[in-house]
Amino acid sequence: MENPKTLQDAILFFSDEQRCIDAVAQMRWIEGVVCPHCEVKTQKPPMYLKAQKRWKCRDCREQFSVKVGTIFEDSPIPLRKWLPALWLLTNCKNGVSSWEIHRALGVTQKTAWFMLHRLRLGMQAPQPRHKIGGSGSEVEVDETFVGGKARNMHKDRKLRWQQSRNEISDWKSTTRTAERMYGKTPVMGIFDREQRKVRANVIPAIKRETLQAEILRQVERGTTVYTDEAVSYEKALAKDYVHETVNHLNKYVHGRIHTNGLENFWSLFKRGLNGTYVAVEPFHLFRYLDETMYRYNNRATEDNPLNDSDRFLLALSQVAGKRLTYAELTGKSGDSTTTQAIF
């Protein structure tokens, strides 16, 4: 059977545990199985113990499964449940909740939640080694705020919010922006119009030095940068970039000057948060951002007609060399972080 093309094909294809092991091993060890303990590639590959579904290294004599050294390590959940969950997460446009995985795969909701966060780590793109843009290229830069609306807040929290609005005025924000910012998490995005891809990350604050540092780190000098008229960008980019702005109070598009590419991405991101995940901690927000970026940057286009199988296989090829424990996920390893729900 060829690689599955639909969810139904994937469920049938990965119903056999040995077939799942073979699929992960093929994506992980393209040139042959290598022992993750000694990492020595010899002429004779490790012995496969079929009854135990494990390999035994001929050099160090250690046994290992295909899960060792991947996001699946130390998980008692069989791969025949992991791989359909990965298929759903990489291909459901608005994401898939832990309650859906709990009902579909027959695991507890807590287990499904942990599984999804480990899968998001596998979908996380490696740190880019090159900047985007260049002379003649165009990028859009914009920021958004992720959090609950004032009308949905508890009475006590809403009172604190109203009392703290004036504290944000030191950032020279408009009243409307200050109202949006309090109690929310800022996220900054950069959209490359040529590649049609987004780079986004959670930032500590919408301040001039923070935004400018991110742009200098990721965008080549000489690039044409389109932003709104936020004061954080004023006089900060003119030295190194061709900076054009659009006033969103009057219009959203002025010729090629707009940030609609990023507005589209923010819409998809928040649709998933509001409709699928409902309650997200600021501590975990970057993981959901990575998930949305993966699907958006690997969507089907005229130049790159990817399908569901392509997105799944790409994510499967990235599972090695990553590890996330439950203690790390919940902030119980090292210094714990106290957070509150933002929805």
What is the model's pTM?
0.87
pLDDT value for 68: 94
192 burial type by CB count under 10 A (0-12 exposed, 13-18 middle, 19+ buried): buried
The string of pLDDT tens digits covering residues 220-250 is 999 999 998 887 887 778 888 999 988 888 8
Which residues lie closer than 8 Å to 246 by C-beta, 6 or more apart? 226, 227, 228, 229, 252, 253, 254, 257, 258, 259
Is residue 261 within 8 Å of residue 161, measured between CB atoms?
A: no
The rounded mean pLDDT for the chain is: 86
For the cut 70, the answer to whether the pLDDT of residue 217 exceeds it is: yes
What is the rounded distance in angstroms from the CA atom of residue 161 to the CA atom of residue 165?
Answer: 6
Span between the terminal Cα atoms of the chain, in Å: 44
Burial 82-117 (b: 16+ CB within 10 A, else e): bbbbbbbbbbbebbbbbebbbeebebeeebbbbbbb
The amino acid occupying position 61 is R
CA-based nearest residue to 54, from 15, 21, 16, 13: 21
The string of pLDDT tens digits covering residues 299-313 is 988 778 889 999 999
Number of H helices, E strands in the chain: 12, 8
Rounded to 5°, angle at Cα 95 from 94 and 97: 125
Which residues lie closer than 8 Å to 7 by C-beta, 6 or more apart? 84, 87, 88, 91, 308
Is residue 151 within 8 Å of residue 101, measured between CB atoms?
A: no
pLDDT value for 340: 38
Rg of the chain, C-alpha, whole Å: 23
Quick one: tokens of 188? 């900054």
Q: Which domains does the chain have, with CATH numbers?
A: 138-300 (3.30.420.10)
Please state the rounded mean pLDDT for residues 202-220. 89
Is residue 226 within 8 Å of residue 138, measured between CB atoms?
A: yes
For the cut 80, the answer to whether the pLDDT of residue 41 exceeds it is: no
pLDDT value for 182: 60
pLDDT value for 334: 58
pLDDT value for 163: 65
